[in-house]
Each structure stands twice: as C-alpha cells, then as structure tokens.
C-alpha cells in the first residue's frame, strides 16, 4: 500500500490552477516543485514559471507536456476540465473553497502532505493560529459593532456567513450586516438601512478608492460619520492562506482598535 509519505516523495513536479494554492506553495517553501501556474499567480510569474491557464481556462495540451506529478485545483476549475485532466492520466487534487479559518489550516496541512512539507505546514498553521488567538484575546469586551465587508462594486457584493471571510468579522467581535442573506448582492440603500459602524472595502484598483469616497458622502451613515471606512488588501484578504488570513485579521483589529481608543 502506498503511504501518504510515499506519495509526497514522488511529487516533484506540481502544476497549480489557483493563485491561492500557488501562494501556499511558496509559504511552504515548495516553489521549486512548481512547474506550471495561472496568469494570476503573481509570485510564480515573478519566478518565470510556465503559464498553463488563465483564471478559468486551462491549456490541457501544455499542462500534459509538463509531465506533472500532481495538478492542484480548486472548485473554480470546471468539473469538465478536471475530468479531462484525469482522463489524460494526470493526478488532480481538488481543494474546495474553505468555509472558515479552521478549514484553511486543514487544507494547508493537506497541501503540505501532498508536497512533502508536513513540518513546515504544521509550523505555519500553529503560528497563524497563535497570532489569531492572541488578537482575539485582546479585543475590547462587550463591543459588537455592525460591519459591512464589501468585495465587489458592480453589483455591490458582500461577505456572507459560511465563508472564511466572515470569520474576519465574527473573530473581531462584529456582527455581519449581511448575516441573514443567502446571496452576496446588496443595494446601497439596504446597507444604509442596516447602518454599519464599520465598512471594509477590498482593493479593486481605482474602484476600491471610488467606493470608499462614495460611502463617505452619506452623512447619516455611522461608518462615514465616525470616519470608519477602510480599504483592505484583496491580495491578502481574499486568498485562503493561513498567513494572509492572520495578517488581514491583524490589520482589521488594529484599525478597529485605533478608532475605538
């Protein structure tokens, strides 16, 4: 029987079909095993790795020609593409979008096992957990502000419950104004009615800055009135890695604490 450790020793050629998985490979120190990536994997592009996919379309012929030991994918890659890669004889490991911080850590450990970097994975997960717990333990008591976390502008799109990004809000002691929604789209009017005390907008290029200015125009909005509208780095906030989650959470806590004091 082939053990997980035995599989890991054979995995020397890795293709990644998602920027978040690529980031995690670099955090693990497994970048030398990476031979193919998407056109959105910034670290890999800087390393001149072979581009074999866009955000959603995979060049199957190019991928096969690299002779990877494993192809790493998320559920963003279509089931048809994954099936085709498997039919072409490639091993594909699919990572669903994690629903919380705990699952981010579990998936990171799985990636460490696949690539043979188990100790590194365990160390990073432990440090990230400790950082998050320390921040949670230093939050002001009995402070549960209403928070709006915007991740899209056209249409207006927000963080929902049951997603790892919602943990930024709940871990900070906040209440997500979209907690009762099933879909992420909101109107500007509905945000105004909910009247959040904090608004976090992920960077969307110029659009992020424009959204911030747009919210600041509403004098009746608590977040605008008290100057509690902030931009958060999308590259960190939206990527499910233990390291960037802890860094983003630290940024959010510091911004809230600064204003609270």
28 and 116 housed in the same domain: yes
188 and 91 housed in the same domain: no
217 and 143 housed in the same domain: yes
Kindly report the CATH number assigned to the domain that includes residue 153. 3.40.50.1980
Read off the pTM: 0.91
9 and 118 housed in the same domain: yes
- Per-residue confidence (pLDDT) for residue 260, from 0 to 100: 55
166 and 198 housed in the same domain: yes
Spatial separation of the C-alpha atoms in residues 124 and 242, rounded to whole Å: 7
Which residues lie across from 71 on neighbouring strands? 15, 92
122 and 148 housed in the same domain: no
Residue after which a domain boundary falls, among 92, 109, 130: 130
156 and 193 housed in the same domain: yes
Structure tokens at 243: 């390291």
Higher pLDDT, 141 or 243: 243
Structure tokens at 164: 């790892």
Confidence of residue 257 (pLDDT cuts 50, 70, 90): confident
Structure tokens at 107: 């998936």
- Please tell me the total count of domains within the chain: 2
**Mean pLDDT computed over 49-60:** 92
Structure tokens at 184: 């992420």
**Helical spans, DSSP H, in 47-143:** 60-65, 79-87, 101-115, 118-137
148 and 102 housed in the same domain: no
> How many residues would you count in the chain?
261
Does residue 204 carry a pLDDT above 80?
no
9 and 125 housed in the same domain: yes
| Mean pLDDT over each residue of the chain, to the nearest integer | 93
Does residue 183 carry a pLDDT above 50?
yes
- Per-residue confidence (pLDDT) for residue 141, from 0 to 100: 81
| 190-202: pLDDT as tens digits | 999 999 999 999 9
Spatial separation of the C-alpha atoms in residues 90 and 37, rounded to whole Å: 16
**Mean pLDDT computed over 133-149:** 92
116 and 157 housed in the same domain: no
158 and 114 housed in the same domain: no
- Per-residue confidence (pLDDT) for residue 258, from 0 to 100: 75
82 and 180 housed in the same domain: no
Q: Which domain holds residue 197?
A: 139-260
Residue after which a domain boundary falls, among 113, 130, 147: 130
Residue after which a domain boundary falls, among 130, 157, 182: 130
């Amino acid at each position: 029987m082939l053990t997980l450790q035995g599989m890991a020793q054979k995995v020397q050629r890795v293709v990644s079909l998602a920027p978040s998985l690529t980031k995690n490979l670099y955090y693990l120190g497994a970048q030398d095993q990476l031979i193919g990536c998407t056109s959105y994997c910034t670290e890999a592009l800087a390393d001149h790795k072979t581009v074999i996919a866009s955000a959603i379309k995979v060049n199957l012929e190019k991928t096969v020609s690299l002779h990877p030991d494993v192809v790493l994918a998320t559920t963003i890659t279509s089931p048809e593409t994954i099936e085709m890669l498997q039919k072409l004889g490639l091993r594909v490991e699919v990572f669903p979008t994690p629903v919380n911080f705990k699952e981010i850590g579990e998936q990171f450990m799985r990636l460490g096992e696949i690539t043979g970097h188990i100790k590194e994975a365990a160390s990073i997960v432990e440090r990230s957990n400790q950082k998050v717990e320390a921040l949670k333990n230093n939050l002001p008591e009995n402070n549960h502000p209403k928070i709006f976390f915007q991740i899209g502008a056209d249409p207006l799109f927000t963080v929902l419950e049951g997603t790892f990004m919602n943990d930024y809000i709940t871990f900070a002691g906040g209440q997500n104004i979209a907690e009762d929604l099933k879909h992420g789209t909101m109107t500007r009017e509905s945000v105004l009615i909910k009247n959040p005390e904090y608004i976090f907008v992920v960077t969307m290029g110029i659009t992020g800055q424009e959204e911030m200015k747009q919210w600041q125009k509403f004098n009746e909005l608590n977040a605008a009135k008290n100057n509690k509208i902030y931009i958060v780095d999308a590259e960190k906030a939206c990527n499910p890695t233990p390291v960037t989650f802890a860094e983003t959470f630290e940024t959010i806590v510091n911004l809230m604490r600064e204003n609270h004091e």
